[in-house]
């Protein structure tokens, strides 16, 4: 994967409705593309020729600070379509600059990552958390180390992610986990999910999110090649699941979703993205 520096005119996407998994309406991405190269990644660029290039949005923070003026205060999601703490961030500090803008302008933030580099910015998260809300979601697709190595070769190991959760929550920063994506018949077993939720709870995480694998045409080829090599017996069940759509059918997801929800509740964790509005309402009722 290569990279190129670009200047942009706009960085803020405003969704009509809140993101169904992460709950935010604003998204500001520091990079386009992602060097983590997860096997199941659905975040592909519009232009196919750019698929192996990470674009570094050099002026993202400056543009964001202009675009947020007079906007209603809502959570800004960072990392929906890239890992904002991929190795390039060590040098470029684009995510760090975005956080500085959010801290100054008083906007809450929701970071999504698989990287331990996120710990570098803990003071900014503390500052934003004191003013509004800062939360960090660590994503997990695999419930075993072996599988994580195959599926997410360039990401921090799940153990390192759990340690990062521990370090951040010890500093008072809210963290949660997202089982994203839940891989049918591979990562959807109760035992593995229970162990992961327990480990996240012990590390201080307060919430769990989950969503099943989406199989878009472009990515399906890569994923089916992985199945053919490692789980040939699953090819047919996957064809049944994804035969008519890129999403799993309701009859598959509903019981898995209920199982994860009840495992999260058993641990006293919430099964939804933290909402800044609810937090505000709670604070208001205290006065
Ligand atoms: S970290 Fe997220 S955006 Fe990056 S390759 Fe993996 S799934 Fe795609």
Judged against a pLDDT cut of 70, whether residue 247 lies above it is answered with: yes
Assess contact for 138 and 84: CB atoms under 8 A.
no
Judged against a pLDDT cut of 80, whether residue 44 lies above it is answered with: no
Q: Which domains does the chain have, with CATH numbers?
A: 2-280 (3.20.20.70)
What integer pLDDT is reported at residue 280 of this predicted model? Answer: 63
CA nearest ligand 1 atom 1, residue: 83
What integer pLDDT is reported at residue 287 of this predicted model? Answer: 45
Summarised one tens digit per residue, pLDDT across range 110-149 is 999 999 999 999 999 999 999 999 999 999 998 888 899 9
**Ligand 1 centre from 76 Cα, in Å?**
18
Q: Cα separation of 230 and 224, whole Å? A: 10
**Ligand 1 centre from 37 Cα, in Å?**
6
**Residue 51: pLDDT band with limits 50, 70, 90:** confident
Helix (H, G, I), strand (E, B) or coil at 221: helix
**Ligand 1 centre from 223 Cα, in Å?**
14
pTM (2 d.p.): 0.95
Residue among 27, 33, 53, 82 whose CB has most ligand 1 atoms within 8 A, to mutate: 82
Q: Cα separation of 189 and 187, whole Å? A: 6
In the chain, the N- to C-terminal Cα span, in Å, equals 53
**Residue 286: pLDDT band with limits 50, 70, 90:** very low
Name all residues whose Cβ lies below 6 A of ligand 1: 34, 36-38, 41, 43, 81-83, 114
What are residue 13's phi and psi, to 5 degrees?
-100, 135
Judged against a pLDDT cut of 90, whether residue 157 lies above it is answered with: yes
Helices (H), the chain: 60-67, 88-92, 94-105, 122-131, 145-151, 158-170, 190-203, 217-230, 235-242, 250-266, 276-285
Summarised one tens digit per residue, pLDDT across range 87-110 is 999 999 999 999 999 999 999 999
């Amino acid at each position: 994967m290569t990279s190129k520096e670009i200047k942009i005119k706009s960085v803020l996407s405003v969704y009509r409705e809140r993101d169904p998994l992460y709950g935010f309406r604003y998204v500001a991405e520091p990079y386009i593309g992602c060097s983590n190269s997860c096997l199941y990644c659905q975040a592909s660029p519009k232009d196919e020729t750019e698929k192996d290039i990470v674009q570094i949005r050099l002026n993202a923070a400056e543009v964001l600070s202009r675009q947020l003026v007079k906007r209603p205060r809502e959570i800004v999601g960072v990392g929906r379509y890239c890992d904002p703490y991929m190795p390039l961030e060590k040098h470029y500090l684009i995510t760090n600059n975005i956080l500085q803008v959010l801290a100054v302008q008083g906007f809450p933030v929701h970071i999504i990552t698989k990287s331990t580099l996120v710990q570098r910015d803990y003071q900014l998260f503390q500052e934003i958390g004191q003013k509004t809300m800062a939360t960090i979601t660590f994503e997990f697709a695999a419930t075993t180390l072996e599988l994580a190595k195959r599926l997410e070769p360039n990401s921090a190991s799940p153990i390192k992610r759990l340690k990062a959760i521990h370090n951040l929550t010890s500093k008072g920063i809210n963290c949660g986990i997202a089982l994203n994506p839940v891989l049918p018949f591979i990562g959807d077993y109760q035992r593995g999910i229970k162990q992961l939720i327990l480990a996240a709870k012990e590390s201080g995480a307060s919430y769990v999110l989950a969503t099943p694998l989406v199989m878009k045409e472009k990515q399906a080829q890569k994923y089916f090649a992985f199945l053919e090599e490692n789980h040939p017996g699953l090819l047919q069940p996957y064809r049944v699941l994804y035969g008519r759509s890129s999403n799993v059918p309701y009859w598959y997801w509903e019981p898995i979703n209920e199982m994860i929800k009840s495992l999260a509740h058993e641990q006293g964790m919430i099964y939804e993205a933290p909402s800044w509005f609810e937090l505000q309402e709670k604070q208001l009722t205290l006065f």
